[in-house]
A and B are shown apart, each in its own frame.
Chain A
Amino acid sequence: MTRDMNKYLREGLSGTRFCPGCGHGILMGAILRAVDRLGIAMEDLLFVSGIGCAAWIPSPNIGTDTLHTLHGRALAFATGAKLVNPKLTTIVASGDGDLTSIGGNHLIHSARRNLDVTVICANNLIYGMTGGQTASTTPVGARTSTDPDGNNFRPFDICNLVMASGARYAARFPVTRPNQLIDAIEKALRIKGFTFVEAVSPCPTQFGRRNSTAEISALYDSVDSLCISKAEAQTMDEDERLRHFVVGEFEP
C-alpha cells in the first residue's frame, strides 16, 4: 500500500495475514482510497466485520473503530451501533459466506430497512478460512473440499438479492479492476441508505488450487475473463450466465 494510505492503517502492524495472491489486500486498498477521496475523518468511521478471511480486512488492519463480531452477525451489530450514533459512517466488510449464508437473513432485512450502511462483500466463492468448503456463492461445477466432484447448487446473485430486498445501490466488480471498485465504493458511501459492493476476490489457496488455476496470475486472468457486462449477460442463457460474473452497477 502506498505511503499516503498509511494514515489509515493501525499502528504496530507489520503486514496483513492474507495468503499470497489473496484479493482481499487489493480490496482493502480500494476501500481506503474511496474513504480517502471522500475525506471521511478516522473517528467518524466504524468498520464492522463478521468471521472469515474478509472480516480481517478491517480488523485489525484499519486504524478506526472496528467491531469484529460473530459469524454472520456483522449487520446486526452494525444496526445497533449505527442507530445509536448516526454520525458514524458505518462500513460492514465481510465475506460471502458470512454475509449471505449464515448471515443471509440479516443481509436482506438490513436492506429492507434501508439501514444507512455500506456493505462490502469480498466474494471469494468459497469458505477460505475453514478449508475450502462450498459456499452459497460457489459457481455450479466448481470443486471444493465438500464437493470434490463439483458443486451442484446455483450460487446466489448477491447484488440481485440485495436490490430485491430494497438496497439503494449495488455494484459488482472484480479486484482485477481496482479503479472501478474504488469508484463503486465511493459512490456507495455517498448514497444515504443501504448500499452494497460485491468485490469478486479470488482465493488462490482454496479455490484456485482446486479448480486448475493455482497460479496466481492465471487465476486473476481467468476471473477477469469471466466478467461480462449486463448487456452481454442478456445474450446468454441462464446456465451460461451462471458461469460468469455480471459486473457493473445496479440501481433501483
Chain B
Amino acid sequence: MTGRERVIEAPEVLVQGNVAVAEAAIAVGCRFFGGYPITPSSEIMVRMAELLRAGDGVFIQMEDELASICAVIGASWSGAKSMTATSGPGLSLMQEALGYAYFTETPLVLVDIQRAGPATGQATHVGQGDMMQFRYGSHGDVFPVALVPWSVQECYDLTIRAFNLSEKFRIPVFLAADEAVGHLRENVVLHRNFEVVDRVKKGAGDPFGSPLRDGVPVMPSFGDGGHLMVTGSTHDARGFRKVDDPEIHDALVTRLMRKTLDHVDEIVEIEEHMLDDAEVAFFAYGVSARSALAAVKRLRSKGVKAGLLRALTIWPFPEKQVTQLGAKVKAIVVPELNKGMIAGVARGFTGTPVHAFTQTNGKIIEPERLVKFVEELP
C-alpha cells in the first residue's frame, strides 16, 4: 500500500470506532466519500476528509443525505470504491437511492451509526432501531447485506469486508454499526493483512445481465468506451429500459435476489461462545452481544449453562444457524436496543421459545439485567 502516509501505522493504537471505519475504508481502497454531517457518525466524515485529501481520493460534503448517496453512486460508476456514512434520519433520506444502487448493481458501502430513534430521537445516544430499515427500507424486493461490528477492531475489519462483498457482488453493503461502538475507543490493530476484492471492470458479457442465475455482470466505468446505459428502470442486459416486459422484470429481480441468497454461506458470519453444552443461549449482534457475553460468563459462574451465538452478518439473516441453535437449547434470548426487531425474525426459524430482551433508553444493556432475565425465565 502506497500513498497512505496519514494512516496510523502503529501495531496497536487507541482509536474511536468511527475513525477505525475511515482508516479501513482507505486501507481497502475507498477513493470517494460524499456525505452530510450527522451525529453520531460525523467523525467518519471528518477523518475521511483528512485521509482522502492527503491522498489521491475525492472528498465532498454534499448539501444533504439525498445528494450524498447519489454522489456516491455516480462516483462508483466512474470507477472509485465509494462510501458514505450517516445515522438513522440520514438513512431514511437515502433509501430511494439505495434501491437505485441495488437495482443498478452499484457497489458502495453505507455506514450507519445508529442512534436512538425514531425521528430525531436522541442524537447522541445509542440505538439499534434501524435493523429493519437495512432489510426493508427500499420499496420493491431487495436482498441487502448488512454487517454488524461489536468492537472498534470490527469497525475496521468489517468495513474492509463490506467493501469486498460490495465489489464482489456489485451490491450496496451496510455497516450496521451503532453509537456505542462508533464512539468507543479501544485497542485496535489497523493491520494490512487482508485480501482486497475489486469489481471486474473488463471482461466478457453485458454490464447488466448474466447467463448464470446468480451471476454478477462485468462493470466497466464511465469513460472506458463502453457507452454504458445505467438506469433505475427495469433494463435488459445491455441497459435498455424495458418497462413493459414482464419476463425481463421478473428475471432481473430474481437474479439480484440470488446474488445474495445463493451466497448466504459465504456472506453470513457468526461466532459461537460457550454453546457446546448450553441450555440457554443469547442470539445477539453489535454492542448488545458484548452485554450478552458478559452475562454468559456471570451465568456460567453461577452454574447456569448459558452461551452466545453472535451474528456478524444480520442480513441476509443467519436462518440456518438460528434453527440449529434452537435445536440445541431450551430457550433463546435476543437482547437488542429496539423493541424486538430481530427477536421477531428469529422466531420464524425455530420452534424453541425466543425471548426478546428489549431496551430503548439510549444506553447499552447492563449485563446484570440479562443475568436476572435469564434467571427468571420460566
Direct contact of A and B (CB under 8 A): yes
Q: Identify the A interface with B (CB < 8 A).
A: 10, 12, 42-44, 46, 48, 59-60, 63-70, 72-73, 75-85, 87-88, 105-106, 109
Q: Closest Cβ of chain A: how far from B207's Cβ, in Å?
A: 11
Chain B residues with Cβ below 8 Å from A88 are 78, 222-223
A83 and B58 contacting across the interface, CB-CB below 8 Å = yes
Q: A79 to B72: give the CA distance in the assembly, Å.
A: 9
B74 and A79 contacting across the interface, CB-CB below 8 Å = yes
Which chain B residue shows the least CB distance to A12?
Answer: B240
Question: CB within 8 A of B232: which of A60, A69, A83?
Answer: A69
Question: CB within 8 A of A46: which of B63, B223, B232?
Answer: B223
Q: A54 to B342: give the CA distance in the assembly, Å.
A: 44
**1/0 per residue B66-90: CB within 8 Å of A?**
1110111111111110100000000
Known: A59-B241, A60-B229, A85-B223. A106 touches B78 (CB 8 A): no
Chain A residues with Cβ below 8 Å from B302 are none
B71 and A60 contacting across the interface, CB-CB below 8 Å = no
B233 and A67 contacting across the interface, CB-CB below 8 Å = no
Known: A65-B222, A80-B70. A59 touches B229 (CB 8 A): yes
Q: Closest Cβ of chain B: how far from A120's Cβ, in Å?
A: 18
Q: A5 to B100: give the CA distance in the assembly, Å.
A: 32
Interface size of B in residues (CB-CB distance below 8 Å): 42
Chain A residues with Cβ below 8 Å from B31 are 84
Chain B residues with Cβ below 8 Å from A65 are 222-223, 226-228, 230
A-B interface, 4 closest residue pairs, ranked by CB to CB distance from nearest: A80-B74, A80-B75, A76-B70, A80-B71
B72 and A84 contacting across the interface, CB-CB below 8 Å = no
Chain B residues with Cβ below 8 Å from A59 are 229, 231, 241
A109 and B229 contacting across the interface, CB-CB below 8 Å = no
Residue B32 at the chain A interface, CB threshold 8 Å:
yes
B74 and A105 contacting across the interface, CB-CB below 8 Å = no
A69 and B70 contacting across the interface, CB-CB below 8 Å = yes
B233 and A73 contacting across the interface, CB-CB below 8 Å = no
Within 8 A of A (CB), among B187-215: none
Provide 27 A-B residue pairs closer than 8 Å at the C-beta atoms, listed in order of the A residue.
A12-B240, A43-B227, A59-B231, A60-B231, A60-B240, A65-B223, A66-B230, A67-B74, A67-B222, A68-B232, A68-B241, A69-B74, A70-B96, A73-B66, A73-B97, A76-B62, A76-B68, A76-B74, A77-B73, A80-B76, A80-B77, A82-B78, A83-B32, A85-B79, A85-B222, A88-B223, A109-B63
Residue B127 at the chain A interface, CB threshold 8 Å:
no
Known: A66-B230, A79-B34, A84-B75. A73 touches B70 (CB 8 A): yes
Within 8 A of A (CB), among B339-365: none
Chain B residues with Cβ below 8 Å from A68 are 229-233, 241
Q: A44 to B228: give the CA distance in the assembly, Å.
A: 12
Q: Apart from A67-B228, A81-B75, A106-B67, what are 12 other A-B pairs with CB-CB below 8 Å?
A: A60-B241, A66-B228, A67-B74, A67-B222, A70-B96, A73-B97, A80-B82, A84-B78, A84-B80, A87-B223, A88-B222, A106-B66
Chain A residues with Cβ below 8 Å from B228 are 65-67
Q: A75 to B66: give the CA distance in the assembly, Å.
A: 11
